[in-house]
Amino acid sequence: MRIIGTALTIALLTGCATANETFGNGGLCGVQPYCGVYFDYQILKEAVTEDNATYASAFAPLAAIDLPLSFVADTLILPYTIFQIRPSEE
């Protein structure tokens, strides 16, 4: 049981789209809130709609698992990300 908990903790800290988009190289967090959920959604959408979606279809199961976890994480860090949003330049 301890091994499963450790594996889940490592997976949540390293593979979460929210962590990647907020604190990593992702650029969505300055554009819109719930950037991790949006990133997972885009992967799932491309896996279904695109003709040549080998990349997206390979990561679609992981994105489906990560989507609810990213929703919780995005909700928890919403006060941080809401102030990171840049106004749109029109």
pLDDT by residue for the chain (90 residues), tens only, comes to 676 666 556 555 555 787 777 777 766 676 778 888 888 898 888 888 877 667 777 888 888 888 888 888 888 888 888 887 766 655
Q: Is 34 left (phi over 0), alpha (psi -120 to 50) or beta?
A: left
**Structure token pair of residue 3:** 């091994």
Question: With contact defined as beta carbons under 8 Å apart, do 33 and 86 qualify?
Answer: no
Is pTM beyond 0.95? Reply is: no
Q: Give the residue among 38, 9, 18 at the shortest CA–CA distance from 81.
A: 18
